[in-house]
Structures are given as C-alpha cells and as structure tokens.
Structure 1
Amino acid sequence: MTLDWISVVGTVGACASVASFTPQAWKIIRERSTEGLSLGMFALTSLAFLAWTTFGLLKGEWALIIPNAICLCFALFILGMIALPKRKTGEVAERLDPTS
C-alpha cells in the first residue's frame, strides 16, 4: 500500500484548521466575553472560509468542503458572538454551557 503524502498533509491541515477554532469558541462560552477579538478579522476569516467552501463545492472536492464548512461555522459563531451586545453574548453562552 502506497502512502499518499498529499492526502496526509491535507488531512493534517484540515484537522489543524478545525481544531484551531475550538479553543477560541470555548473560551468565549466559558468566559462569556469576546473582549479583545476583532470583528473585522472574523468577518474576513468568515469570508475566506465561505470562499474556500464554495470553491470546494464547485470543484466537487470533499477534502476542501468539509473542513472549510466546519471552520466557517466556528468563524460565524465567533463573529456573531462579537457582534452581539455584551448582555446577549452572556445569554447565549449561558444557554450553551449553563454550568459555568
């Protein structure tokens, strides 16, 4: 069996991209704050993941579609939490993690 290094590199990149958003999203929920996060940066990041997801769909490449769609969801969640008034951010976080 031949190891397909291109697929390995792509899989590592996809997993790292998805995993990179998890700590930030969880931190927002846990601390109920988006202080210090840039609305513009997450808007641009969301646009980038939307473009990559669309590109993957147009090419029919699931290796592009799946991780970029997941990252888009994370980025949109964070963008939404930044855009919400502080009180609403806390309410959403409380619903997602009422134990904190």
Structure 2
Amino acid sequence: MHLNTVTIVSLFAATLSMVSYVPQAWSIIRTRDTDGISLKMYLITVLGFTTWLIYGFLQGQWPIIVQNLICLGLSTFILTMKLLPQHKKEAVADTLAPIVGADGD
C-alpha cells in the first residue's frame, strides 16, 4: 500500500484527535473529579461526534466512522462521568482503575 502525504497527514490528525481525550479520561479515573469539566462543552462535543459518525455512515467512509466512533466513546465516557453522582463516579473509576493502570491514591 502506497501512502501519500495527504493520507499520512490525515492519519496523524485523526490519531491526535482520538488521543486528545485520553488524558482527560485518565485524569477522571485517577482523581474521580469532574468539577473542572464543562458540561455544555461535552454535550456539544458528543453531539458533534455523533453527527460526524452519521455523516461517515452516509458517505460509507470507514476512516471517518472509526475515528469518530472512538472519539464519541471517549467523550461520552467523560460526559457520563460528569453527570454521574459522586458515589457512582467512584464505582466506575474503581472498576476501571486496575484496567487502565490508574491509581486513585
């Protein structure tokens, strides 16, 4: 497979977009704190990724579908953690911490 410059740049951009949500998700798992997270911003972000996902399906563009599915999953996790009451947030984080290697201590 021959990768041209446009393909390489698009793959790099997509990877950065996907990975950009990982530090926030990791921080939430580690600290159980979502006070500094904007609810409105993540509501809009989830809606945006949902819309891009629909677009990807309508166009049959698997790179758009995969990237936006991953971003939607991560941003939905962050939004869900923002909306959960603290005791449920603790339970989710306790469950995920051993999986991702985050320690809440």
Provide the secondary structure at the position in 2 that maps to 1:66: helix
Dislocated runs of 4+, deviation >4 Å: none
Deviations 1:25-60 (A, max 9, x none): 000000011111011110100000011111011101
- Counterpart in the other structure of 1:24: 24
Scaled by the length of structure 2, what TM-score is found? Answer: 0.88
- Counterpart in the other structure of 1:95: 95
How many Å separate the matches in 2 of 1:3 and 1:14?
Answer: 15
Provide the secondary structure at the position in 2 that maps to 1:7: helix
How many Å separate the matches in 2 of 1:2 and 1:39?
Answer: 42
Question: Identity of counterpart residues, as a percentage?
Answer: 43
Any unmatched runs of 5+ in structure 1? Answer: none
Number of residues of Structure 1 aligned to a counterpart in Structure 2? 100
Is the 8 Å Cα contact of residues 46 and 76 (structure 1) preserved in structure 2? Answer: yes
- Where in structure 2 are the equivalents of 1:1-100 lying within 5 Å? 3-98=3-98, 99-100=103-104
Any unmatched runs of 5+ in structure 2? Answer: none
How many Å separate the matches in 2 of 1:15 and 1:47?
Answer: 20
Aligned CA RMSD, in angstroms, stands at: 1.5
Mean alpha-carbon deviation: is it higher for 90-99 or for 16-25?
90-99
Scaled by the length of structure 1, what TM-score is found? Answer: 0.92
